[in-house]
Structure 1
C-alpha cells in the first residue's frame, strides 16, 4: 500500500493541511448554518446566487423594521483567504447582531477561497458582488429585498481580517474604476485588517505569529510579488489615495499582531493625500477578531455599537 498520499507537504496551523498528492484539508471554518429567521431579533436571512457560472453567492440579512429605506452594508468575511464562508456560524451570528443593532441590510459575500481559487479570485468575486448590488439602483434588480429596502445612496463596505483587506481594495477600485456605478459609498469599516509588508513596524519582529502571517500570504497568492505586493501592503499601492469614500473606521485589538498595521493605515492615507476622515480605535486586552468568538462580551457589544454609530451617522 502506497502511504505517500498521506504525507504532508505543507501545513498552515489551524487553517489547512496539504498532502504530497495534491489533496488538502481545511482544518477549521468549514461548519455552516442555514439561513432563516433569528427568533430573538426577528432578523431574516437568505442565500442568493449572484453568478451561476462561478458559483458566487451571498447571504442577505434583513432586520425586522417598518422603515422602507435602510443603509446597505456589503460585508466580506475573514479567514486568511482560505477558510470560512458567508454561512459560517461565527459570521452568521455576528451579522445577525449587526443587522438588528444597526438596522441595516447586509450582503455577506461568499467569495471563492484559496487554494482552489488563489488570489486574486476573491477580489474579482467581491467586485462582481458589488456590480450585482448596483443592479438594484432603480429598484428593478433581481433581488426583492434590495429593491424594496436597501438605500444604495447610503452604502458601506466592511470586513474583518482578510475581509477587511478586501473591503479596502473594493473601495480603491470603486474610487479609481467606477464612473458609472450607481451606489454612493459613504464609508468603509476595517475590523482588524490583514495588511503586511517586508519591513517590520512596531512590535512585529517580536510577535510569535509573524512567520504565520507571511507564510499565509504567499500560500494564498502564489503569483505574488512578495510581502510588498500592493494587495497586502497599502503603503506601496499607487492607487491608495483613490479610496472612494470620505470616512473610514479602523478597529484594532491590543494583543493582535496586525494592530500596528491598522494604525499605520491612517498614516498611509494621510501622506498620500486622501482627504477624508479616519478613526482608529483600539480594544484593550483583546486579540484578533475576538468579537466573532466572544459575541456576548462587553467589548464585543461596544465594537458593534461603534459600527452602528458609524453607519447611522448623518
Structure 2
C-alpha cells in the first residue's frame, strides 16, 4: 500500500490551529480567513470523479453523520449550561443547528451564539454535491466559468438573504475546491507551470492580505472573486512549499500537526462544541477570562488541547473512528 503523504495532513493541521487561534486571539481578518480556503483547496486537490447518486449514497453520510452526532453531543451540554447559569440560549442554538451552523435570519437576544465552525461541514457537503453534478460538463474551461458565476452569485445573494445549511458559502467555496482539483490534474506543484502560476498567485495573496478582506463563510470577496481564488492558490502553494522544506514527521511538533490534520473533521466537530459553549456560557468565555497576551496564549493552548484530546479519543475508539467519522488507516 502506498504510504500516505503527510504533507497535506500537516497543512490541514496548521490550518486547524489557525481556526482555533482566530476564535481565541483577535487577529486582522485579512490574515485569519485564509485558513478555511486552505481546507477547500486541499479537499479539491484530492477530489474524485464520482456520480452524484454514488456520492449521495456513500459520500454525503461521511459529513452529515458527524454533523448530526456533534449536535446531539452538544445539546445536553447546552442544557446543563442553562440550568447552572440561568441563561436562555437553547432556542437560539437549536435554530443554529436547524440552519446548518448559521446565525442568520433571526434576531434573538443571544444572536451571536451559534455552532460556529460546523458551517464548514455543511458547506463541504454542498460543495461535493454540486461538484458531482458539474462533472457532466467535460470542458474544463466551461466548467470553470460556471463555478466562478456560482461564486459571484453567492456573493450577491448573501447580501440580501439568509444562508441555510451554508449553501451560499458552499457556492463561494466551490471555486477554491476547483482550484485544488486543477492543481492536481495539471501537476502544478511539480511542473514548470507552477513557476509561472506561483508568483502571480502569491502577489494576489499579498494584495488581498494588505488591501482587502475575505471570508468564505460570509461570501465576502472585497477585491473580486477571481483575485480571491488566485490568492487562495497562492496561500496553498506557499504553505505546501514551506511544509515540504521544513517539516520533519519524526519531530514531535510536526507529528502533532500531522495528527490534527489527519483527524481534521473530528477537530472541527470538537472545536464547534468548544465554540458553542464558550459563546453560551458567558462567564466562561475565554476572551473574558484571559485578558493579557500571556493568558490569551494559555487559552489557545487549552482549546488546542481540548481538540487534540477529542481527536485522540476518537482515534482509539474503532466505532467512532470508522462508523461516525469514516476514518480508515
Report the TM-score when normalising by structure 2.
0.29
Structure with the larger strand share: 1
Structure with the larger helix share: 2
Higher relative contact order (CA 8 A, sep 6+): 2
Report the TM-score when normalising by structure 1.
0.30
